[in-house]
Structure 1
Amino acid sequence: MTRVRSERRRVVVTGMGALSALGTSAEATWDAMVAGRSGVAPIAGFDASGLAVRIAAEVRGFDPVAHFGKRRARHLDRNVQLALAATAEAVDASKLDIAAAPERVGVIYGTGIGGLGSLTDGVGVLRDRGPEWVSPYTLPMTLANMAAGLIAMQHGATGYNSCTVTACAASAQAIGEGADQIRLGRADAMICGGCEAAVGEVGIAAFAAMKALSTRNDEPGRASRPFDSGRDGFVMGEAAATLVLEEREAALARGATILAEVAGYGSTADAHHITAPHPDGDGAVRAMEAALADAGLGPGDVGYVNAHGTSTPPNDRVEALALRRVFGPSGPPVSSTKSMTGHTLGAAGALEAIACIQAIRTGLLPPTINLDDVDAGCELDHVAHVARRASVAAALTNSFGFGGHNATLIFTQA
């Protein structure tokens, strides 16, 4: 593997946590991914019978009252509930003693929309019952930064604290920016990731109005089909995923289990359109090239790509073009786990980072399910239908968001 490094501080992952439509832990989510199981189903969280789109990838089996108690759960938006649960799993797994130096532990946590459910509920109360009935918790529950703030409160992390709100690139940027905090010496550990819980009447109706969502209501498990000629839009998903990042020498000194290294990060802007990617994939290409340069790697060093792969016609075609521009016609194996998790918006980058880390650790590449007929222009070395065994020293994941935000992360064996 080609790697030219400066003497900068190295950043490793020591803990992971996740809740998704595939499971309520990082391990359960990964097990379902490699089994090729779809988490898409008819919407259960509200009555969607009047909508054109009636399917989503919802988190099931999660009881917020059991986690937080009835009163506190009522005062937390669902996206924050998911974030706190995923983060508790990650911090417990890392065995990081935050209390030993809380000022050296920070949080960067991303979301695309924040508390859309709480905002929708507040507007409904105002309309139906009047202003005196609006809860004083409405605004705090709506704020996009609340997950980052409450994670810090829950774990006593008093260092740098921020929130990335860059649509579907949010949690990938949170991880990249968190790694930079450690590299620059501003923190010794960072809690990073993202959350999203926008599966509600407004969220579904709004994305459906943009013609962005699949309307394959009668075949929910087959609705998310990245790179396939029959794709007709993405499937909305909800999730939270968290990584604990640490300075490598400190992690080794305390005997932490190191899962992978955050080797490279690149982020760019298309500066092109509010929703459509640049037709030549220029921003995506530059983000991948920047991440490779940051990691000191060449294209041939990457053994797996977890694509953004949303299942929308323009995104998949442009990303495939960008991947061929970076890696050439014989690039690494590629899959989109959104075929199983749905598109979890601001949580997607962190959830797919976990997939990359697990691919490195286990030698298993999760598949793109429902990829029956690769669309013209989407030709890649697709891991279709079933997982593939492969030795992976470096894995790359892409996250691209509305507004033209692009983020690429590279993880390597530690």
Structure 2
Amino acid sequence: MTSPDTAADLIVIWGRGRVSALGTAKEWNEPLTSPFSTHPNKLPVAALPVAAEEALAELRASHSAYRQLDRTVLLALLASRQATAAAGWAPESTPNPSTEPATRNQKPETRNQLAVSIGSSRGATGRLEQFHAEFLSEGSVPAAASPLTTLGNVASWVAFDAGSTGGAALSHSSTCSSAFQALGNAVAWLRAGMAKRFLAGGTEAPLTDFTLAQMQAIGIYSPLAATDWPCRPGAGRPSTFVLGEGAAIFALERLSGAAWAEAGRPELPVLEGVGFGFEALGSKTGLSPDGQHFQQAMRHALEQARALPAHIDAVVLHSPGTPAGDAAERAALRAIFGENLPPLLSNKWLVGHTLGASAALSLDFALYVLETQQWPVARFASDLAAASPKPIRRILVNAAGFGGNAASVVVALLPDQP
């Protein structure tokens, strides 16, 4: 395991922000009723609640340039502002957030230290569909259509809003593991000394007619009503995949072991490992029954963390509620951990599957569990844990996507306890 006394550096999570069907609160409290709603096309979805919609509308109106941005970008901006505020990265003189980006007056030497790495499976989904519909109707598109729908505009707008003037702005797309691809890139840059601070995570706003129709066409969408907790990871058949929207962003910084000791050995959430796995399959929506890419990703993450499977106290699953996907991930877990698996956790039954944002929201959920030692208990029969037999200090988080890619993260609280 990573030892802060000997580690050359630690990747510390100073702050985090999130927005989902549960709103923007830091707590993952169990709602009394299902947070899912019914889309106009009659499918259950995990859409933002009223308060979060109001925050998004306020953000859109806060800057003239933001009025044209896709919902995916705005979700990332909202979560990023929370992360920077939680990290204490706000400037000495903060301008009015209703009129200017949050850190516009920050000193240039501080702004240049901040880089951005954001994952999104589909990027500007809503605006792309809107521009395409206009093209089919009118035969032309506005000049802004291309820059507003490129994936790179997600990270670049987050960087602009955060006041970064010289730091990298990186956008990633690898389907549903996109957020961890972005996180892994940020960690590599930090460890290489190519950046001093990073905002990294994932964002997705896929609740559009065309995207929902695509998910339904695959044959995996949940038949359950929105009020009946329609997304049920680990519950078996039928498939209970439900699409959601949201974002989660993390404020990361490299901290030397010596600096950690000088700071009084504070208890901090630390990214100990980010691992990746890939398998080439004939079906780009399928995966091997034993989850080979999951196995590779978990082994890679554990190796980076210098941890054994026995050091993992819980696993936050990718588990989208599809029978084949859920079974393959559990087969991969048994290959790594044996038959006695650590407690299995999931947040998708609360926020749905948010595609490129799902891994980031899972990591945010894992950090909540580490901090509070509690989590909401599923309202349906499944293999998800209701409690842990011991304190949870280290969590493995999984993610996977179409195309045979998977990613895993090991996150822990320091100081480490034997």
Match of 1:14 in 2: 14
Distance 1:118 1:36 in 2: 34
Match of 2:333 in 1: 323
Distance 2:71 2:324 in 1: 31
2:199–2:250 CA contact under 8 A, matched in 1: yes
What does 1:164-179 correspond to in 2, within 5 Å? Answer: 164-179=172-187
AA aligned to 2:253 is E
State which of 57, 70, 87 in structure 2 corresponds to 1:94.
Answer: 87
CA displacement at 1:69 relative to structure 2: 1.1
2:359 maps to 1:349: yes
Q: 1:364 to 1:319 in 2, by over 3 A?
A: same
Distance 1:165 1:221 in 2: 32
What does the per-residue CA deviation read over 1:196-224, in whole Å, with 9 as the maximum and x for residues that have no partner? 001010000011111121122x3543211
What does the per-residue CA deviation read over 1:2-55, in whole Å, with 9 as the maximum and x for residues that have no partner? 869974321110011000001124x15x234xx586422112xxx325xxxx21
AA aligned to 1:334 is L
Distance 2:5 2:218 in 1: 44
Match of 1:65 in 2: 57
Match of 1:144 in 2: 151
Match of 1:159 in 2: 167
Distance 1:21 1:255 in 2: 38
AA aligned to 1:120 is E
2:70 maps to 1:77: yes
Distance 1:363 1:90 in 2: 21
Distance 1:113 1:254 in 2: 41
CA displacement at 1:296 relative to structure 2: 0.6
What does the per-residue CA deviation read over 1:64-122, in whole Å, with 9 as the maximum and x for residues that have no partner? 33113175443010000110011001001101267443333211100000111111111
Match of 1:119 in 2: 128
CA displacement at 1:161 relative to structure 2: 2.2
Match of 1:300 in 2: 310
Give the secondary structure class of the aligned counterpart of 2:177: helix
CA displacement at 1:140 relative to structure 2: 2.3
Distance 1:48 1:354 in 2: 30
What does the per-residue CA deviation read over 1:355-386, in whole Å, with 9 as the maximum and x for residues that have no partner? 1111111111443x2442x4xxxxx6x315xx
Q: 1:2 to 1:162 in 2, by over 3 A?
A: closer
Distance 1:221 1:112 in 2: 28
What does the per-residue CA deviation read over 1:130-176, in whole Å, with 9 as the maximum and x for residues that have no partner? 41xx3333222222221100111111222222111011000022112
2:236–2:322 CA contact under 8 A, matched in 1: no
What does 1:182-197 correspond to in 2, within 5 Å? Answer: 182-197=190-205
Q: Which runs of 5+ in 1 are unaligned?
A: 375-379
AA aligned to 1:31 is N
Match of 2:101 in 1: none
Match of 1:206 in 2: 214
Match of 2:402 in 1: 402
Match of 1:107 in 2: 116
Q: 1:251 to 1:192 in 2, by over 3 A?
A: farther
Match of 1:226 in 2: 233
Distance 1:39 1:299 in 2: 34
Q: 1:230 to 1:154 in 2, by over 3 A?
A: same
CA displacement at 1:256 relative to structure 2: 12
Distance 2:249 2:280 in 1: 29
Distance 1:275 1:179 in 2: 28
AA aligned to 1:91 is T
- Larger deviation: 141-150 or 338-347? 141-150
CA displacement at 1:304 relative to structure 2: 1.0
Distance 1:90 1:258 in 2: 18
1:24–1:59 CA contact under 8 A, matched in 2: no
Normalised by the length of structure 2, the TM-score is: 0.87
CA displacement at 1:252 relative to structure 2: 8.1
Q: 1:364 to 1:164 in 2, by over 3 A?
A: same
Match of 1:413 in 2: 413
CA displacement at 1:343 relative to structure 2: 0.2
Match of 1:268 in 2: 277
AA aligned to 2:294 is A
2:294–2:332 CA contact under 8 A, matched in 1: yes
State which of 55, 60, 73 in structure 1 corresponds to 2:44.
Answer: 55
What does the per-residue CA deviation read over 1:223-245, in whole Å, with 9 as the maximum and x for residues that have no partner? 11111123323100000110000
Distance 2:264 2:77 in 1: 25
State which of 20, 37, 56 in structure 2 corresponds to 1:41.
Answer: 37
CA displacement at 1:255 relative to structure 2: 9.6
Normalised by the length of structure 1, the TM-score is: 0.87
Match of 2:96 in 1: none
2:270–2:413 CA contact under 8 A, matched in 1: yes
Match of 2:98 in 1: none
Q: Which runs of 5+ in 2 are unaligned?
A: 92-105
AA aligned to 1:67 is L
2:394–2:411 CA contact under 8 A, matched in 1: yes
Q: 1:108 to 1:23 in 2, by over 3 A?
A: same
Match of 1:291 in 2: 301
1:80–1:147 CA contact under 8 A, matched in 2: yes
Distance 2:340 2:33 in 1: 28
What is the aligned-residue RMSD (CA, Å)?
Answer: 2.5
The count of corresponding residues between Structure 1 and Structure 2 is: 390
